[in-house]
Structure formats: C-alpha cells, structure tokens
Amino acid sequence: MKPIKVGLLGLGTVGTGVVRIIEGHQEDLQRQIGSPIEVAQILVQNKSKSRDVAVDSDKLTESPWDIINNPEIDVIVEVMGGVEETKEYLLSALNQGKHIVTANKDLMAIHGPEILLKAAENGCDVFYEASVAGGIPIIRALVEGFSSDRITKIMGIVNGTTNYILSKMSQEGAAYAEVLKEAQDLGYAEADPTSDVEGLDAARKMTILSTLGFHANVSLGDVNAKGISEVSKEDILYGKKLGYEVKLLGIAENHDGHIAVSVQPTMVKNSHPLSSVNGVFNAVYIYGEAVGETMFYGPGAGGLPTATSIVADLVAVVRNLKLGVNGRTALAPYKEKKLKTDEQITSKNFILLHVEDKAGVLAQITQIFAQHEVSLESVLQHPNANNPKAEIIIITHDAIQASIKKVLKQFESMDVIHAIKSVYRVEG
Amino acid sequence: MKPIKVGLLGLGTVGTGVVRIIEGHQEDLQRQIGSPIEVAQILVQNKSKSRDVAVDSDKLTESPWDIINNPEIDVIVEVMGGVEETKEYLLSALNQGKHIVTANKDLMAIHGPEILLKAAENGCDVFYEASVAGGIPIIRALVEGFSSDRITKIMGIVNGTTNYILSKMSQEGAAYAEVLKEAQDLGYAEADPTSDVEGLDAARKMTILSTLGFHANVSLGDVNAKGISEVSKEDILYGKKLGYEVKLLGIAENHDGHIAVSVQPTMVKNSHPLSSVNGVFNAVYIYGEAVGETMFYGPGAGGLPTATSIVADLVAVVRNLKLGVNGRTALAPYKEKKLKTDEQITSKNFILLHVEDKAGVLAQITQIFAQHEVSLESVLQHPNANNPKAEIIIITHDAIQASIKKVLKQFESMDVIHAIKSVYRVEG
C-alpha cells in the first residue's frame, strides 16, 4: 500500500514528539487510516545538529521549499512557529493541494480566515487542534461535540506558563518576579516572557476558541487582554483569605449574538474546579444553552501531548483523503460579529482600596457604589496598626462594567482614597 | 431544499429534549448541515397523553413499524430504551438503509457489535455519543481526539444516581437507605434502583468506553461490577478521616494488550479531581501513553444535555449524508481481547478490620501481608472504649489482586479477626 507522506516543518520538542508517535504507534495508525504513514521530509535550521530522535539524515532539509514543492508530500505538519513567513509557506503548500496540520496559534489567530479560505479554494484540510490547550481535544469538542448547541460562554486556563507562575505564587507565597525567574530557569517560561505573561498567548487561543464556538469571525484585536505582571503576592493572599485563587482566565461570552472576549487575572472561587487547576495544566469550561456546563482538562503543552493532537489531526486528514472529502468538512463563521459595549458586559468584581482610616470613609465609598447602582456582596475593612491607612476589600454583585469604571474614576479623585490597589474580575 | 427527516422512537425526557433542540436551534442546524431538519414521525406509547412539548398530533404513532417502514425517514433517533425488541427495530431500520442515533447504553453494551456490523453491511451510520456520560462528548474524544494515542486507562464516574447518593451520604453523614429513598422521591433514582446501585449501568458504559478506547471487543460479561449498596456511612467517615471520598468508579486498564475492566466503590484521594465531582455530574479520566492525563466533566444525564449529544450525532450523520460517506467512518475493534488475571491486576487497597483488642494482633496481621508480599502504606489502629474489639484500617501500596485475596482468605480463618468490615480499591 502506498504510504501517506508527511512533510514536517520543524523538529523542536513538538516536532520530535510527532516523529516519535508516528514511529511508535505505526501499527495502530495503519489500522486507523488503512495505509502506512511516513515522515518523508523534515525542515530543520541546522542539518548537522545532533537530535533527540533518530532520523535519517537524507530526510532533513534546511529549505522549506524543498518540502512545499515536493510533489510526493501529501500533508504538511507545521510546528516551526512564526507568522508572516510561515503563512507564505502554508498558502503556497495549499496552492499545491497539500493539506495542513498546524500547532501555530499565533498564525491561526491572526491569519486563520485567510488560510482557511485558501484551503477551501483548493479542496484542502487545515486542522489545528494542537493550537489550543495542547493535548486536550477542545476544538473537536466545540466543533463536533457541541455542533447542536448554542455556546454562551467559554472560560479557561489556556496558558501553562502563567498558570505555573500563579500556582507557585499561591502555594509558596512568593513574589511574581522571583517565580518568573524560576520558571525561566526550568524552561517553563521564555527568556522574553512577554507573550505569555501579558496574556497575548492566551488572547490568541481565545480568538480561535470564540471564533469556533460563536460562529463569528472574532479577531485578535477584539480580545481585551491583561496579563499577570501586576499580580502581587498580597492580592493572592487577600484572595485566599476570602476563598479565591487568582487565575489568568480567558473568558468569551455570547448573549444573543453580542460577544465579549477577554483575558485577565481573575479571582476564582475555590469551590469552582478551575481554581484547583495547577501548574502547567490547562482546563476549559464550555457552557451551552442545552448542555449546561462542561469542563475539559489536560496537559496544555509538552512535546508528546501536543503531538497527540497533531497526529490525531493527521489521522483525520488521511481519513478524509481516503473518503475523498478533504476541504469539505470545515464550517466558515456565518454570524455577524457584534461586540459588547462596556454597558453590556457584567461581572462580579474584587476591589482592594487603601483609604484614610477615619470615620465616615466607608459610608462615602459605599455611597458611590449605590449612586452607580452597583450592589455589594461583601465589604471587608482591615485596619492596619502600623499605618494611618486602612485596607478595604469590596466584592460586588454582578455589575455593569461601565458602572464599575465610573465608580473607579470617582475614587481616583477622592482624597480619602489613597490608592486603588487592585481590581479583579470574580468568577465561580 | 429537501429537509432531512428524522423518526423519533420515544418522547420521554430525552425525546422531548431532542424535539426542543431541533426546533429551537433550527437556523444554526441548517447552517451546520446545509438543509432543514425535521422530526417527521414520533413513536409514543399513548397518542392521547398530554405532552410537555407541542408536537403535531399527526406525527405521533403507537407503532414503531410505521416509522421503520416509512421510506421518507432518513434517520432514526432511538430514545425509547429496551434491549431485545429495540434491537429488532434498529436492525430492521438498518436493513432499510436508515441511519441510527441512539442513547441506549444497554443495547450498545450488549448488542453493539451486531448492530455495528449490520450498519456496515448497509452503508449506514450508527452513532451513540449520548449512551455514555450524557452531555459530555467522551466518545468523540476517545475515537477522534485520541486516535493517535494508546489509551492505558479510562477511569470515571459514569452513573449520576450513585454519585448523587454517595455525595449526599458524604455531605450529610446519612445512611445509604435513607438517601436512596430521597433520591427516589426526587426522581434521581428509579423505583427499582438495581441497575444503577449495583453498578450494572456503569458496567454497560465501561463496556462501551473500553471497547472504543482499547480497540478490542470488551463484552459486558468481562466487567467485574460491584455496586454501592454495601457502602456504609462508617466507611465514608473513615475514608474522610484519611483523606478519601468514596466514589463508584468504572476503571478500565490496558497494559500491553492485557485488559481489566471493573466497576466498584473506590476510595479516591481528595487531591484527585474525581473526588470533588458531586451530585449527578459525570467525569471521565483518560490516560494515554503520549498525552498523559486528561479529564472530561459535565452533566451525565438530563433531557437537554443528553439531547445535545444526540443532535450532535444527528449533525454528524447528515454531514456524512451530504458527503456520501455514511457507514464508512466507523472503525471496528481490531485487537485480540486478552483479559488480565488476578495475578496481573494491581491496585492500592483500603481494608477495615474488626479485631480482638489485645497485644500481638497487629503483628500477626502485618505478618500475613508480609508473607504475601503486600507492602503497607499506612496502618491505623482505633481502640474502641465501649467494645472489646479494635478497629484497624490498613492502606496497602500497589498490590497484586490475587495476593490480596489470599490475605483476606487467611484473615477469615483467624479467631482474633472478628470481621473484615470492608475492602475498597484506592485511587488518586
């Protein structure tokens, strides 16, 4: 039987995982797809570098075009990363009728629509399960498992690096900078951690999930992203005291076609399962009108887990190939995108203030919430013996975001309020 | 456009949910499948009974054959339950080229292979996502999400009734009989609860999951099932003291093709996410060689959640119909089934003994474990002031099941051991 030939762009951790799974599970894969599957050519940066996995040196190339222009290659697996150049490679491969499996969330979040359109024009598949939440089959769940339902909310921990940092800060009472350094030493965070810690990586994943879940073309610019670099160990400590863990959550909501997507450090009630997702694990909650609430949990990164998703996509491509239906299973977004305004976004909030420690201040503060029709779930005042200022923690009921912004603006101009130390969304 | 016509067998809670979703989500479903979808005929027991959902009375029939023999019907949705008669209906429908979506775990666990074979012969789809864990797309995860991996273990809470009972017993310190009565009054347990509380329902679901996960024809008779009717409130209390919750777990393991599948009340460490799955929720852990550990959580029952899975299957059938690939996407089990012997099954164990309260007894007991090479993780002796007998709780390290059986047999013949009060598998 003629083998299916795969061209692999990239042989880092994930690429190595792909080679390992295709070789190690060859017999099972043949049963799944009805023919052998072979990594026929591999793009590397340096052919002479030593490798963690045994690969025939004849298969290595330093030029992507050797693979893209190779007529024998049926499917391209892209695990090299990068955006603009990589896009050119993939568009060119699609023009030559090659199917694509990619783990590249940056590319799919930014150029997904263009790539998927090109795929449709050429009757090709583009699958990208590995681009979100590593080994968790979350895209399949959204696209197929809940094809019958209307998704109202997707909420998840989709970045392992920041979850590792926040988990450590919570468990050890350590400061952000200290744990970031440790994560970098362990290889859990990049030398330049901006994309992870400022929430950009999570924003890209939420772009992909909300586009699929809500059937509207959500773009990266629609996601309101805030990272964890300002989360203090005091915030985490206060959260704990009140029964919350700080987690970087991606939250996508859809009410009657009005969409809001954000990434932000969030106080998650410790009775909610997301509060106990620790370390580099990922978890995604999906709420559907009919199904109610569901959760998907698993490894968010790592060579083999991510490669599991990639090779599962490869199996799907080859099954389609055998059935002659490539390029015919994707569903383009069909809903008009209407973004929520601040008047339409509601949530609970956690607000920590430093205030003048004198009579009447609390009354003044609660009065301002009342003016803007924000009702309060709890107010905790913390007198500080060493300090003339007191700390007040306020947890609101569900409140309109625009109203909260007005309240905070008014606080800024009040002499008795020394500082708005922190403001978090509250979930769970 | 010609609508897809669905014949619905059964209009109970789930059938009503199916009608509601097909009507309520009609526009989205049309986008998904490219044509309208219509519940054209419905089998009911009594045409004149009043209904929770508005259905055209012309569509109701009391004879399944009206639907099975109706040439206009494209897909049968079976939510009537039952095994032998229902099988005849479905086989007959398949012979007439109709596709099947079913929520019937009893039928699929017992006659799955025969039905799937008949479907293949006729080029028909048979999908049954709703048969396990209601609204959780767990079958898709196993079959597609992890098609690339070798599944080594599937462990889950797959019966909502027993999980409701055990959760209540744990939260309220209540006795089994009392909570069962309450569950029956609330409609969470049947008047005859045997199938749920004796673990048969869970065994059927584990049959389905292990067949799909391990690619071997696991049959219901291969599942070692024990229910919760002997779980005492004392067991739950002692478990709690040591950091465990009692859960009815289905556990399917596969090591190098040697399979063991069981259902049993299990002590689950409270750091393990399954320990905090409460009420009628279901959750399934899947362990794969490459992916590591993943978990899927959601509503295990209920009309709308279960109907979500059914209508998602319906979407899949119709997509295949449009692509002309019905009956060509199923993968029959291809591995020889080799069941593990007691010598090959290992687990930790929790053993509660009532013993004579005198010197040397503990030494005698630990000696017997040592003889059979069972090592102990912890031993807790509980003197009882009102009683000449003492209570001993032993938690073993991973031990061979055959050895544990030999130890227990030896205990039975010892005068100083008054009773082997309980034995639980330990997980987490």
The amino acid occupying position A167 is S
| Per-residue burial over B61-74, b = 16 or more CB atoms within 10 Å of its CB, e = otherwise | beebeebbebeebb
Q: Taking CB atoms and an 8 Å cutoff, what residues of chain B touch A315?
A: 144, 147-148
Among the partner-chain residues B144, B150, B292, the one whose CB lies closest to the CB of A299 is B292
Q: Taking CB atoms and an 8 Å cutoff, what residues of chain A touch B300?
A: none
Does pLDDT of A181 surpass 90? yes
Q: Is residue A330 part of a domain?
A: no
Distance from A383 to chain B by nearest Cα, in Å?
35
What is the domain-level CATH number for residue B148? 3.30.360.10
Q: Compute the C-alpha angle B286/A307/A188, nearest 5°.
A: 90
Among the partner-chain residues B21, B31, B147, the one whose CB lies closest to the CB of A312 is B147
Q: Do B331 and A293 count as a contact with CB atoms less than 8 A apart? A: no
Does pLDDT of A391 surpass 70? yes
State how many domains chain A has. 3
Phi, psi at A48, each rounded to 5°: -90, 0
Give me the interface pTM, i.e. the ipTM. Answer: 0.94
What is the domain-level CATH number for residue A44? 3.40.50.720
Q: Do A299 and B312 count as a contact with CB atoms less than 8 A apart? A: no
Residues A103 and A237 in one domain: no
Q: Which of B28, B132, B140, B291 to mutate to test the interface with A (most CBs of A within 10 A)?
A: B291
Residues A402 and A312 in one domain: no
Q: Do B290 and A308 count as a contact with CB atoms less than 8 A apart? A: yes
Q: Which of A294, A295, A296, A311 to mutate to test the interface with B (most CBs of B within 10 A)?
A: A294
What is the domain-level CATH number for residue A387? 3.30.70.260
Distance from B346 to chain A by nearest Cα, in Å?
25
Q: Is residue A339 part of a domain?
A: no
Distance from A21 to chain B by nearest Cα, in Å?
7
For residue A47, the 8-state DSSP code is T
Residue B72 binned pLDDT confidence (cut-offs 50, 70, 90) = very high
Distance from B249 to chain A by nearest Cα, in Å?
18
Q: Is residue B210 part of a domain?
A: yes
Catalytic residues of A: 205
> Tens digits of per-residue pLDDT, B228-245?
999 999 999 999 999 999
Residue positions counted in chain B: 428
Q: Taking CB atoms and an 8 Å cutoff, what residues of chain B touch A273?
A: 273, 276, 297
Q: Which domain holds residue B407?
A: 346-427
Q: Is residue A362 part of a domain?
A: yes
Residues A275 and A412 in one domain: no
Q: Is residue A384 part of a domain?
A: yes
Residues A50 and A100 in one domain: yes
The amino acid occupying position A312 is A
Q: Taking CB atoms and an 8 Å cutoff, what residues of chain A touch B302?
A: 292
Q: Is residue A328 part of a domain?
A: no
Q: Which residue has the tokens 């200290």?
A: A178
**Among B261, B284, B299, where does a domain finish?**
B299
Catalytic residues of B: 205
Task: Give me the pLDDT at residue A382, please.
Answer: 73
Q: Is residue B332 part of a domain?
A: no
Distance from B330 to chain A by nearest Cα, in Å?
10
| DSSP letters for A133-153 | STTS-HHHIIIIITTTS-EEE
Give the residue from chain A lying closest to B270, CA to CA: A276
The amino acid occupying position B134 is G
Q: Identify which has the larger pLDDT, B313 or B50.
A: B313
Residues B156 and B287 in one domain: yes
Residues B74 and B11 in one domain: yes
Residues B198 and B151: their CA atoms lie apart, in Å, by 27
Q: Taking CB atoms and an 8 Å cutoff, what residues of chain A touch B334?
A: 31
Among the partner-chain residues B148, B319, B325, the one whose CB lies closest to the CB of A311 is B148
Residues B190 and B240 in one domain: yes
Neighbouring CB atoms inside 10 A of B370's CB total: 12
Task: Give me the pLDDT at residue A387, please.
Answer: 67
Task: Give me the pLDDT at residue B385, please.
Answer: 61
Among the partner-chain residues A140, A273, A291, the one whose CB lies closest to the CB of B305 is A291
Task: Give me the pLDDT at residue B229, please.
Answer: 96
For residue B301, the 8-state DSSP code is S
Q: Integer distance in angstroms from the first to the last C-alpha of chain B?
A: 53
Residues A239 and A111: their CA atoms lie apart, in Å, by 38
> Tens digits of per-residue pLDDT, B372-405?
999 999 998 876 666 667 899 999 999 999 999 9
Residues A241 and A200 in one domain: yes
Q: Taking CB atoms and an 8 Å cutoff, what residues of chain A touch B304?
A: 290-292
Residues A353 and A287 in one domain: no
Residues B176 and B225 in one domain: yes
Share of chain B above pLDDT 90, in %: 92
Least confident among B35-39, B134-138, B329-333: B329-333
Tokens of B230: 């002997």
- Identify whether the C-beta of residue B251 lies closer than 8 Å to the C-beta of residue B153: yes
Residues A114 and A153 in one domain: no
Give the residue from chain B lying closest to A331, CA to CA: B32
Residues A14 and B148: their CA atoms lie apart, in Å, by 14
Average pLDDT over residues B190-194: 94
Task: Please report the number of interchain residue pairs, chain A to chain B, with beta-carbon separation below 8 angstroms.
Answer: 182
Task: Give me the pLDDT at residue B349, please.
Answer: 98
> Tens digits of per-residue pLDDT, A353-388?
999 988 899 999 999 999 999 999 999 887 666 666
Q: Do B294 and A136 count as a contact with CB atoms less than 8 A apart? A: yes
Tokens of B367: 């000696």
Q: Do B29 and A291 count as a contact with CB atoms less than 8 A apart? A: no
Q: Do B328 and A328 count as a contact with CB atoms less than 8 A apart? A: no
Give the residue from chain B lying closest to A304, CA to CA: B290
Sign of CA dihedral B361, B364, B367, B371: negative
Task: Give me the pLDDT at residue B65, please.
Answer: 98
Residues sharing a CB contact under 8 Å with residue B93, sequence separation 6 or more, in sequence order:
B68, B76, B100
Task: Give me the pLDDT at residue A384, please.
Answer: 63
Distance from B356 to chain A by nearest Cα, in Å?
42
Residues B46 and B154 in one domain: no
Give the residue from chain A lying closest to B149, CA to CA: A308
Q: Is residue B247 part of a domain?
A: yes
